[in-house]
A and B are shown apart, each in its own frame.
Chain A
């Protein structure tokens, strides 16, 4: 049983009091669970305290490890990614405190700035007043992804925290990882995904053009947008790692994110236009055969995520119905996306 919200508020207040030694009369209120990311429980809250005679109020986000989730990730990497990109051409909220000791709140967590007044969900995107700004949001989405690919991981201080990998080994490391996830978590045979894995091994991609920070879940739904079509923050860096820049480009182009059902990549732009914008922003080239490899890899990775979530739900580690729904619906869509890429979808 997880602690009640009020208990969590008081424990969070005790923790933040220790982290803000100059603060007086510190209080936490309004702690409320929100949807956010696949691997952490996300809640918003208000922090108030007095410091140097001033009354300070901050709206913050608590990202806490859950008992079970779609994906198992390192919160230290996610926290570091937010910190690294804060203030850069890649908009992100400010990450404030990381706590890996489970004692304060039962599970590791971190706290970051809340950017309020913006939207992130696909249903909101596909309705007024945001609908008319889809092209602009798409232009910003793939431009910002180009900025992520342009950023130097060493200068960001992320090399080491994120394990480096040789340019010609990026694909092998990622494929081996997600194949092992499937080996461990699948609840039923996956003949399409297994065939895709064999195809990927028979047709290795060229070495990465450069080693970059890969967000690893760069898709519509994982950023905040406003009513003017501007993207205000890139969220959910929980799977970030060093790797091939085409991994991020391919993931966001996946057919499983075409919720608008109009063929637009990420429900935003024609695929070719998204690629053109990314190439211009990143200064890199999306070689069609290499991109196809990473698009098919995305189908393996996606299936790994849906399978893992289904296992968590089935075994009771996490009863969030979205895990069950994803396992059923997205798993089959992912298979269909793979078939389409290989030219076998009827």
Chain B
């Protein structure tokens, strides 16, 4: 067995198990017990997020910038086209999650504008870009999927 120090993900798993197996059964009343179980589920979700937090944001920000670069020439609103081109040329300044997240929110807000604009355009190029947007949106839900989720 490899000699490694306890990782954060391992610690979170152990905390979740302790809450579910050792603590929750001893808690009363039932409402508090259920609440502890939900906190254990939250720890499992945090464990999944901890592992992928930076990776999924870096991946998504890159995908969105590539999408903007591809779509910008087809955009008929000059101001929007300019902002898409600027966003496409931007980079993540840091790998810290809060900064990646701030960048991601700005890019996703711009994606909404692009999507609405492309929907208003006719022609196969608009439909191609629209399909690319939907594919990226589908991928975005895969990146965020949690193992406990029903769907």
Contact = CB atoms under 8 A, between A and B. Distances in A.
Interface of A: 32-35, 188-192, 194-195, 198, 255-259, 261, 320-322, 324-325, 328-330, 332-333, 335-337, 339-340, 342, 344-346
B116 to A, nearest CB: 6
A194 B133 CA distance: 13
Interface residues of B, number: 34
Name which of B105, B137, B151 has the most chain A CB atoms within 10 A of its CB: B151
A33 B45 contact: no
A32 B148 contact: no
Contacts of A257: 150
B38 A33 contact: no
16 contacts: A32-B31, A33-B31, A34-B30, A189-B111, A192-B140, A194-B112, A198-B116, A330-B149, A333-B149, A335-B141, A336-B141, A339-B138, A344-B135, A345-B138, A345-B141, A346-B139
B111 to A, nearest CB: 5
Given A189-B108, A256-B151, A324-B42, A332 B145 contact: yes
B51 interface: no
Contacts of A34: 30-31
Contacts of A256: 150-151
B29 interface: yes
Contact of B146 (A188, A192, A258, A332): A332
A207 to B, nearest CB: 25
Given A32-B31, A35-B31, 17 more contacts: A33-B31, A34-B30, A191-B115, A191-B137, A192-B137, A192-B141, A194-B115, A255-B150, A255-B151, A321-B38, A321-B39, A330-B149, A332-B141, A335-B137, A336-B141, A339-B134, A346-B135
